[in-house]
């Protein structure tokens, strides 16, 4: 009986492999990605808006060139170079980048009138003569390139299936946050995160630069912040900080990949590193010790002191100057040591400073109860048990026109353990297994916050318990891929059953990139 069942299983698997090979055209080799269970376009993650499979596809090989069109198109050229750079290693092909658009190969086409693709979307058309990527913006072409890459095997040459993909994002903001304050991480390490996220069309990188345990960005007007305040971390390690050049380098690197950096200077709480660096920032004029524990809510800027606002203005001014993106995050969470009236007065002034420096405020959702400035964006980090009144304050701010970024802590906090066996991580918002991180609808998550008020989603990685790049990856992957799909794919194509297969299909790509991801037993990894 058992033998019979096994034979039957083998036959079924063989049948699936054969039908899949047929669907992929004559050039596909058995064993190519995606795994046998999925037809080629079905493995795409995030799932695209629409797909039409048609006829044979384009075989990518040693003769394949990337054509970046006629005319000036310097940025298109740059996108072409970047895509070539991403694919050369895995494909082992030379992939030269040339001008013009006639001839076989991969053609990048900027068309400002392209329909149905929005600012970041694209159309991908594949036939034996080549693949044409069309978008209204270079960002759209870049995203199209990521889709194309997923249609090829994780390693080696292969055939792009014939057909058309039409695609555009559901939400404008699809973000990741990393806390480099609790444990210090270098710009190079953060760049690697960018590399790991852009294949999934993530477009925002929020860097939590300051907290009680460390100040991580050099500020010319207040040099001790980084030099002294950056000199430790949770657990008492040596910490560190980024020079302005290093930060600018990260911003440029991310920007070239269409990822906007959103810097956060947390205030009026979470400021012990600053208070320890400058006695004059303290109400009593005495600097506290540096802090290497993990408590929150014990520090506050001195709201009644004018010097505090000079500090805020000078620091935010320098950060704004280094940051081309429109957002500046000023924290505003867990100000438990700042009386409510002081908090409001302080946040009013801090928000005005951000505006004067030409940026739009982002703050954690506690600001919603205390008077967000016009246009300010609120980042919601509550959970299922968050008080109704707190949620209602976010809803009424949303109804008054404040866009909301959703980071529900019981869904998207990457520092929450997957389950009891996860070594790093916290549990205050509960366990967040891969399915829980994915199976919810950002367009209908908070009562009174309609989809139109949702700017997007972001998954924060807090690092009280995350001290190494390996643990960081383990906590972020694969949950970040779920965020990417929630942020990009139409509501109608979401669903755990399909998603877990798409996710499994990404396994070999994560392996090829050397990502240390959690091989959740709920996902049918091949
Ligand atoms: C909270 C807190 C952070 C912690 C994090 C840990 C926010 C917005 N403030 O989230 O300081 O690091 O939880 O999960």
Q: What is the pLDDT of residues 324-356, one digit of tens each?
A: 999 999 999 999 999 999 999 999 999 999 999
Q: Is 426 in the pocket of ligand 1 (CB under 6 A)?
A: yes
Tokens coding 38? 């999925």
Ligand 1 touching residue 298 (CB < 6 A) = no
- pLDDT reported for residue 8: 35
What is each CA distance from 130 to 76, 102, 158, 165, in whole angstroms?
A: 18, 10, 13, 14
Query: pLDDT tens, 247-279?
Result: 999 999 999 999 999 999 999 999 999 999 999
Say yes or no: CB of residue 334 within 6 Å of ligand 1.
Answer: yes
What is the pLDDT averaged over residues 426-446?
A: 98
Residue whose CA is closest, atom 12 of ligand 1?
A: 462
- Ligand 1 pocket mutation pick from 267, 298, 334, 428 by most atoms within 8 angstroms of CB: 334
What is the distance in A from the centroid of ligand 1 to the CA of 368?
17
Q: Would you place residue 431 in the very low, low, confident or very high pLDDT band (cuts 50, 70, 90)? A: very high
Alpha carbon of 169 to ligand 1 centroid (Å): 28
Percent of the chain with pLDDT over 70: 93
Per-residue confidence (pLDDT) for residue 38, from 0 to 100: 76
Q: Which of 302, 352, 324, 306 is nearest to 250 (CA)?
A: 324
**370 CA distance to ligand 1 centroid (A)?**
19
Helix, strand, coil percent content, the chain, rounded in steps of 5: 40, 15, 45
Q: Which of the residues are catalytic?
A: 334
Dihedral pair phi/psi, residue 147, rounded to 5°: -65, -45
Tell me: the pLDDT tens digits for 87-127? 999 999 999 999 998 899 999 999 999 999 999 999 999 99
Of ligand 1's listed atoms, the one at least distance from the Cα of 429 is 14
Quick one: average pLDDT of 69-74?
Answer: 78
pTM comes to 0.93
Using CB atoms within 10 Å of the CB of residue 271, give its burial: 0 to 12 exposed, 13 to 18 middle, 19+ buried.
Answer: buried
What is residue 393's predicted lDDT score, i.e. its pLDDT? 97
Q: What's the sign of the alpha-carbon dihedral 88, 91, 93, 97? A: negative
> Is the Cβ atom of 415 under 6 angstroms away from ligand 1?
yes
Mean pLDDT over the full length of the chain: 93
| 432 CA to centre of ligand 1 in angstroms | 15
> 39 falls in which pLDDT band (50, 70, 90)?
confident
73 pLDDT band, cuts 50/70/90, is confident
Residue 18 has pLDDT above 70, yes or no: no
The verdict on the CB of residue 296 being under 6 Å from ligand 1 is yes
pLDDT for 151-192, tens place per residue? 999 999 999 999 999 999 999 999 999 999 999 999 999 999
Residue 142, SS3?
A: helix
Report pLDDT digits (tens) over 368-421: 989 999 999 999 999 999 999 999 999 999 999 999 999 999 999 999 999 999
Report the pLDDT value the prediction gives residue 15, as an integer from 0 to 100. 33
358 HSE (CA, 13 A, CB side) = 9
Output the CA 172–ligand 1 centroid distance in Å: 24
Q: If you measure from the C-alpha of residue 463 to the centroid of ligand 1, how many angstroms do you get, rounded to a whole number?
A: 9
pLDDT of the residue at 37: 54
Mean pLDDT in residue range 37-51: 90
- Residue ranges of E strands in 290-341: 327-331
H runs (alpha helix) in 402-449: 409-412, 434-438
Does ligand 1 lie within 6 Å of residue 193's CB atom?
A: no
List the alpha helices (DSSP H) in 66-137: 74-91
User: Mutate which of 383, 462, 464 to test ligand 1's pocket (most atoms within 8 Å of Cβ)?
Assistant: 462
Q: Does residue 40 surpass a pLDDT of 90?
A: no
Domains of the chain: 2-167 (3.30.379.10), 173-491 (3.20.20.80)
- Output the CA angle 402-482-521, nearest 5 degrees: 145
Q: Residue 332 corresponds to which tokens in the numbers above?
A: 């505003």
Task: Give the whole-angstrom CA distance, residue 412 versus residue 457.
Answer: 9
């Amino acid at each position: 009986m058992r033998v019979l069942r096994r034979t039957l299983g083998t036959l079924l698997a063989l049948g699936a492999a054969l039908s899949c090979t047929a669907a992929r055209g004559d050039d596909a080799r058995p064993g190519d990605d995606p795994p046998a269970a999925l037809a080629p376009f079905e493995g795409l993650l995030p799932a695209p808006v629409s797909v039409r499979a048609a006829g044979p596809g384009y075989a990518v090989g040693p003769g394949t060139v990337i054509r970046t069109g006629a005319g000036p198109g310097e940025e298109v050229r740059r996108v072409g170079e970047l895509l070539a750079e991403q694919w050369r290693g895995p494909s082992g092909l030379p992939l030269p980048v040339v001008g013009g658009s006639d001839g076989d190969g991969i053609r990048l086409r900027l068309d400002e009138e392209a329909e149905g693709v929005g600012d970041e979307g694209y159309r991908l058309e594949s036939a034996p003569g080549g693949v044409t990527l069309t978008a209204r913006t270079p960002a759209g072409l870049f995203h199209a390139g990521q889709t194309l890459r997923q249609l090829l095997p994780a390693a080696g040459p292969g055939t792009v299936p014939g057909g058309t993909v039409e695609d555009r994002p559901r939400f404008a903001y699809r973000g990741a946050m990393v806390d480099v304050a609790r444990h210090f991480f270098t710009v190079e390490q953060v760049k690697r995160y960018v590399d790991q996220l852009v294949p999934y069309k993530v477009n925002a990188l929020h860097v939590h630069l300051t907290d009680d345990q460390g100040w991580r960005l050099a500020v010319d007007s207040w040099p001790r912040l980084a030099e002294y305040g950056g000199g430790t971390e949770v657990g008492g390690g040596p910490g560190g900080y980024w020079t302005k050049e290093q930060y600018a380098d990260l911003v440029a690197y991310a920007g070239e990949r269409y990822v906007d950096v959103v810097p956060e200077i947390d205030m009026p709480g979470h400021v012990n590193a600053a208070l320890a660096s400058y006695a004059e920032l303290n109400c009593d004029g005495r600097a506290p010790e540096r802090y290497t524990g993990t408590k929150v809510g014990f520090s506050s800027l001195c709201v009644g002191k004018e010097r505090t606002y000079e500090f805020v203005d000078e620091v935010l001014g320098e950060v704004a100057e280094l940051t081309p993106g429109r957002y500046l995050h000023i924290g505003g969470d867990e100000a438990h040591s700042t009386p409510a009236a002081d908090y409001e007065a302080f946040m009013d002034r801090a928000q005005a400073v951000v505006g004067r420096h030409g940026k739009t405020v982002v703050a954690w959702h506690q600001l919603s109860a205390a008077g967000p400035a016009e246009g300010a964006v609120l980042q919601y980090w509550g959970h299922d048990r968050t008080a109704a009144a707190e949620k209602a304050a976010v809803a009424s701010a949303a109804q008054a026109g404040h866009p909301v970024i959703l980071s529900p802590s019981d869904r998207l906090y990457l520092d929450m353990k997957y389950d009891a066996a996860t070594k790093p991580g916290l549990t205050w918002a509960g366990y967040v297994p891969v399915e829980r991180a994915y199976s919810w609808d950002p367009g209908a998550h908070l009562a009174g916050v309609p989809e139109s008020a949702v700017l997007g989603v972001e998954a924060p990685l807090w690092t009280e318990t995350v001290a190494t790049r390996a643990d960081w990856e383990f906590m972020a992957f694969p949950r970040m891929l779920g965020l990417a799909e929630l942020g990009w794919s139409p509501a109608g194509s979401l669903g755990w059953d399909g998603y877990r297969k798409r996710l499994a299909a990404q396994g070999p790509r994560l392996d090829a990139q050397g990502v240390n991801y959690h091989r959740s037993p709920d996902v049918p990894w091949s």
